[in-house]
Amino acid sequence: FSIVDAEGNRVATTQTINTWFGSGYMSPSGGFILNNEMDDFSAKPFTPNRYGLVHGEANSILPKKRMLSSMTPSFIESDRGIAILGTPGGSKIITMVLLSILNWINGGTADDMTSVKRFHHQYLPDIIQHEKGAFSNSDIDKLRSIGHTLKEVRDYGNMQVITIDKDSGKVETSSDPRALIEDSGIDYY
């Protein structure tokens, strides 16, 4: 979520349990689902994790270590004003935030930032993941003709954005239109 108060104090945060239903274990006393963030460590170096990411020895499980994380809650300040944003989404987070920031830099609104079509490539596996409509058919054909593998995916974050116009002080907010996935039976709210 993203928050700003009347004095301009702001928060961009990302909460995660890592995968759908986290560890699959609910605390009997607290009633909440425990996360499985241990998957962000390299339990077995050079073996893909849940998201297909391959980590080496540097990300192995050891005392006093922090696992690699993609969480990227952000503040962007420019001549236009301020954008406050963040999203869950595993290894795709950095790409989603980057696409939204580029949209902001190029004149986009808060709604544009949350609804921009998304794509992602994380080196391994060597696949361009994209949502429907992110590329034209001719772009898909061109990418395939030069050896890229593409995969259409639906699981694409839940971007939350606040923008503040520097000149007018106008505040715009936007919540990712993907947040309610009607045919999956899952409501985020």
Query: Is residue 115, in this structure, part of any structural domain at all?
Result: no
Query: Is residue 149, in this structure, part of any structural domain at all?
Result: no
Read off the pLDDT band of 95 (50, 70, 90): very high
Structural domain boundaries, residue 58: 17-69
Neighbours of 159 (CB within 10 A): 28
Each residue's pLDDT tens digit, 104-156: 999 999 999 999 999 999 988 899 999 999 999 999 999 999 999 999 998 78
Query: Is residue 124, in this structure, part of any structural domain at all?
Result: no
- Rounded CA-CA distance 117/133 in Å is 7
| Per-residue pLDDT, 182 | 47
Domain count within the chain: 1
Residues 6+ positions from 31 with CB-CB distance below 8 Å: none
Residue 187 clears pLDDT 60, i.e. is over it: no
- Rounded CA-CA distance 173/84 in Å is 9
Each residue's pLDDT tens digit, 19-69: 888 899 999 999 999 998 888 889 889 998 888 888 889 999 999 998 888
Read off the pLDDT band of 180 (50, 70, 90): low
